[in-house]
Amino acid sequence: GVGGQVIADGGCVYPGDVAKAFGAGADFVMLGGMLAGHEESEIAILDGKMEFYGMGSDRAMEIHGARKDGYRGAEGKEIKIPYKGKVEDTMTEIIGGVRSACTYIGATKIKDMPKCATFVQVLQQENQVFNLFE
């Protein structure tokens, strides 16, 4: 190998997404979208929503400055997301999801997840039996 580390950046919405990233071999997982919108953020709450923008967005470049080499190719978006409360609750869900995944695949440590994980393509993301009772 190249001796580097793998960072999964983008797309995590559910705790299971974080577990899948570790199972696929990520050493780190970026959680910007999952951690945005919490009380600990410095962003003001307006009408129950908070501003969220990617670090490659025009908004981020306005606030934090453009790159030193002058490159200004904005890639990210700026959106309003619902206020989520304390970040501790979200972190508890994420940690619980990763721990649960470890029990399913027999991994005792996060670093063991790639050796234990098997990926299978499925067509349904959620068990539909629960929809029978709604």
pLDDT in tens, 57-68: 888 878 777 666
CA distance 114 to 101: 12
Taking residues 23-31, what's their average pLDDT?
A: 96
Q: Using CB atoms within 10 Å of the CB of residue 94, give its burial: 0 to 12 exposed, 13 to 18 middle, 19+ buried.
A: buried
Question: Which range scores top for mean pLDDT: 22-31, 72-81, 119-128?
Answer: 22-31
**DSSP helix/strand/coil, 124:** coil
Residue 78: strand pairing partners:
53
Q: What does pTM read for this prediction?
A: 0.80
- Range scoring the smallest mean pLDDT among 3-7, 13-17, 67-71, 87-91: 67-71
Sequence spans of domains, the chain:
1-38+84-134, 41-83
CA distance 52 to 83: 11
**DSSP helix/strand/coil, 113:** helix
pLDDT score recorded for residue 96: 98
Question: Which range scores top for mean pLDDT: 42-56, 92-106, 117-131?
Answer: 92-106
